[in-house]
Chain A
Amino acid sequence: MSISEFAPPVTSADQRVERFRSVYDSSYPDIEAYCRRRLGSDRSADAVSETFLTAWRRFDDVPADRSARLWLFGVARRVVANQVRTTSRQDKLHLRLVEQPTTQQPGADVMADSMLEQSPFIQALAMLSPDDAEVLRLVAWEELSHADAGVVLDCTANAVGVRMHRARQRLADALAQIPNQIDQTSPLTNEQNHD
């Protein structure tokens, strides 16, 4: 049985809006942050809009319980991937983010983007495969459990654990290629009992 089968049918326009409002209000901050973390401030708005518009149009498929948030993460993940792919394959995320205007007063968005630019972890993440980077970010940044990340990635919690293990190893390898910015002896490959 899929999680969508738990969703009650939407019976009227008003009920649809009401239910959508509930899902929207409870999920918007997380989805908005998810998109901004991956695309930066300047490109995240379209992805957020596209994600929620997809939910609005496919609302009968949106789970009624807390799984709605995970369903939206799944949609956002595909929207972000599509935007990265179609905008420009050459315009990698970390390269775009360094183009922030220097004359702008550093608000929260700029500081966040600057953080993306400067952190060796971000540079190392950009060197990983999309799958490896995504599983690390879902757990570390979106603070999802392995089980919840599995829903987003359409795999089991155990598979997430395996992916995390491998991704940490590859992140350690990537960090080793970034000189003089981090303690290279960090025990990145140690296991973590997340769930």
Chain B
Amino acid sequence: MTDADDRLRFANPIPPSAVSSPSVERSARADALFQEITMTDPNASAAPSPFSPPPSRESIAKANAPRRAPRKILAGTAAAAAAVIVGFGAVSLIPGSTTPAAAAMIDAAQQTQAADSGTITITLNVSDDVNAADSGEFTLTTNYSGDDLSARIDASNEAGLDGETPQVRVVDNVLYIEEGSTWYAVEDQRIMSLLGTFGLPTDVRQTMSAGVVELIELADNAVESADGSFTATVTAAEVKQVADGFPGFGLIANETLPADAAEHELELAVELDEDGLIDTVTLSGADADDTGAFHADVTIDFDDLDAGVIIEAPADAEVIDLDSFGDGELFDN
């Protein structure tokens, strides 16, 4: 025992003697809390509770509940898919000196970006001990060929979300939305302007790859740990600046970015395929408070690059007249 230990104990704002003899008010508060808690359904862990802290982070799952009604699909699924995609765009270059490994990585990313068709799979894994409902896995699979695309989100989390969202396709500027065994087609070009407000790109290939290129360009300290395998660190502040809104990137950056530690580092790993193109990009973030309560990583897989992915328009799609939805409210703004 040291003098310093004694001083630290003396600095205890609630000394043990005060804990062992609580006030009448504190005892009454404890009894009231007990009654409140034991009246709640112990199995309703995912439900909002007055005891729960307010939602602290956005979850892409909240915007992507599976099997919505057709009307909601238009404003929900398509918007969600578009919102997912928007994160890839609107980026700015950050110049800086790069290592040879970083330069090789950037070159591979730019070549990958040039592919005219392919499949991009984004998987977000979240582990959150505190807000357990946020924990889960979310996967966005997008096939693209030129300006055509198909996208589907598969989500499962502790809150009970389990399953795939309806698929969305864009073929020759016509939007197709899946609902059960039925496909709906929206030929009205106003839908594109509507989706444009959510950031649906007119050039899917360029826009989807640009975010990945931008992220890799941040990693100017990259080293090649093995042939075709690169590791680097980027700061949460950098990721937030470049990719806020990107599924996973924004979540990871925000949750690992304490105000007084903007340089908190996140791990970036990049794997190239045998053709020297990007195979996998992984960004990992852990709780900046280092309590182990939160961890998330996002993995982006590129497959079938320039392999001639075919995006077909569904047969017998039922054409939707947008003016019949919501009294035209979709275009009020």
- A: residues with CB less than 8 A from B are 16-17, 20-21, 24, 28-30, 32-33, 36-37, 45-46, 48-50, 52-53, 56-59, 77-79, 81-86, 88-90, 92, 108, 112-113, 115-116, 119, 121-122, 129-131, 136, 140-141, 143, 154, 168, 171-172, 182, 186-188, 190, 192-193
Contact = CB atoms under 8 A, between A and B. Distances in A.
Contacts of A28: 30, 34
B62 interface: no
B45 interface: yes
Nearest to A119: B11
Given A85-B258, A108-B18, A129-B290, A56 B9 contact: no
Interface stretch (B48-56, B203-211, B219-227, B315-323): B48-56
A132 B145 CA distance: 53
Q: DSSP class of B's interface residues: helix, strand, loop or mixed? A: loop
Given A82-B56, A86-B54, 20 more contacts: A16-B42, A49-B36, A50-B53, A57-B42, A57-B44, A77-B291, A78-B291, A85-B288, A86-B53, A89-B259, A112-B14, A112-B18, A140-B8, A140-B9, A154-B292, A172-B4, A186-B4, A187-B3, A188-B2, A192-B5
Given A82-B53, A115-B13, A90 B259 contact: yes
Contacts of A193: 1
A92 to B, nearest CB: 8
5 contacts: A37-B12, A49-B33, A82-B53, A121-B11, A122-B13
Contacts of B34: 21, 24, 28, 52
Contacts of B30: 24, 28, 32
Interface in B228-287: 255, 257-260, 287
Contact of B14 (A24, A37, A53, A187): A37
Contacts of B5: 140, 192
Contact of B20 (A29, A115, A116): A29
Contact of A78 (B22, B42, B129, B260): B129
B179 to A, nearest CB: 35
Contact of A53 (B3, B12, B40, B291): B40
B51 A130 contact: no
B2, B4, B56 — most chain A CB neighbours (10 Å) = B4
A115 B13 CA distance: 6
Interface in B40-87: 40, 42-45, 49, 51-54, 56-57
Contacts of A116: 13
B117 interface: no
Looking at chain B, what size class is its interface with the partner chain? 35 or more
A141 B291 contact: no
A156 B252 CA distance: 30
Interface of B: 1-5, 7-9, 11-14, 16, 18-20, 22-23, 26, 29-30, 33-34, 36-38, 40, 42-45, 49, 51-54, 56-57, 129-131, 255, 257-260, 287-293
A168 B4 contact: yes
A52 B293 contact: no
B289 A84 contact: yes
B121 to A, nearest CB: 30
B8, B26, B29, B293 — most chain A CB neighbours (10 Å) = B8
A21 to B, nearest CB: 7
B253 to A, nearest CB: 13
A186 B1 CA distance: 13
B14 A33 contact: yes
A50 B51 contact: yes
Contact of B289 (A21, A56, A81): A81
